[in-house]
Amino acid sequence: MTRKFSVGFLLFLSVIFVAASAFAHHGFQAEFDGSRLIYVKGTLTKFEWENPHMFLYLESTDANGKVTQWQFEGASPTVVKRTGTYREDLIANVGKIITVRACPAKDGTNRGAAETIKVADGRELVVGGKRYYGSGKEGEQ
């Protein structure tokens, strides 16, 4: 194994963590993979506070300077509000680094169904319903 590969691998892991599991069941999973969980850290560039789903847009930059644009789908703003996350919370974090917890899109595009976002002041805010239905079996791919 070369040094370049090891360093590259470590840098990749510093951006995205993946937990894999064999079990998955949910209606939304035509589009998203509820057996996988990703955390994506980046700058919140904009959001859409509309129905039927709110959307978050993130820009992540890896150590090599490569920029990736992400789109995350959340729940309806009406239920997001009822769960305690408000439009003002998102306004306050545009331009700041957040970490999104989501299930990734099945088509390999940089999209996900978001459950929560960890924002600049350390709070974890709910932006979607439970999406990850992993079995919890450690190491299962």
Partner 1 sequence: MKRRLGVCLTAAAVLMMICLAPVSAKPQAGQVSVPGFGKPNAKPLPNGGPTPHTPDGHPDLSGVWFPGNTGGYDLTAEDDPAQKQFDPKETPEEKPPFQPWAAAKLKGMSRVDLELLRPSVNCLPRGVPGMFITNPYPIQFVQAGTQLIQLNELNNNFRVVPIDGRPHPKNPDPAFNGDAVGHWEGDTLVIDVIAIDVSTWNNFTGWFHSDQEHVVERLSRPSKNYLIYQVTIEDPKVLTKPWVSAPRHWSLGHEPLEEYYCTNNKEEEALKALKQLSEGSDK
Please report, as ranges, the residues that interact with partner 1 according to CB under 8 A: 1, 3, 6-7, 9-10, 13, 17-20, 23, 27, 29-31, 37, 39, 48, 50-53, 55, 73, 75-83, 101, 106-107, 111, 115-116, 124, 126, 128-130, 132-136, 138-139
Q: In what helix (H) or strand (E) does residue 47 lie, and over which residues does it extend? A: strand 36-48
Looking at the Cβ atoms of 5 and 64, the one nearer to partner 1 is 5
Distance CA 113, CA 38 (A): 10
Q: What tokens appear for 45 in the block?
A: 């560039």
Distance CA 119, CA 11 (A): 22
Looking at the Cβ atoms of 92 and 129, the one nearer to partner 1 is 129
Q: What tokens appear for 8 in the block?
A: 């590259």
In angstroms, what is the minimal distance from the CB of 41 to partner 1? 14
Looking at the Cβ atoms of 44 and 125, the one nearer to partner 1 is 125
In angstroms, what is the minimal distance from the CB of 96 to partner 1? 20
Looking at the Cβ atoms of 44 and 103, the one nearer to partner 1 is 103
Q: What tokens appear for 25 in the block?
A: 């069941």
Looking at the Cβ atoms of 11 and 91, the one nearer to partner 1 is 11
In angstroms, what is the minimal distance from the CB of 62 to partner 1? 15
* Angle (nearest 5°) at CA 28 between 25 and 32: 90
In angstroms, what is the minimal distance from the CB of 2 to partner 1? 9
Q: What tokens appear for 103 in the block?
A: 């299930």
Q: What tokens appear for 77 in the block?
A: 């703003």
* Angle (nearest 5°) at CA 96 between 11 and 38: 45
In angstroms, what is the minimal distance from the CB of 129 to partner 1? 5
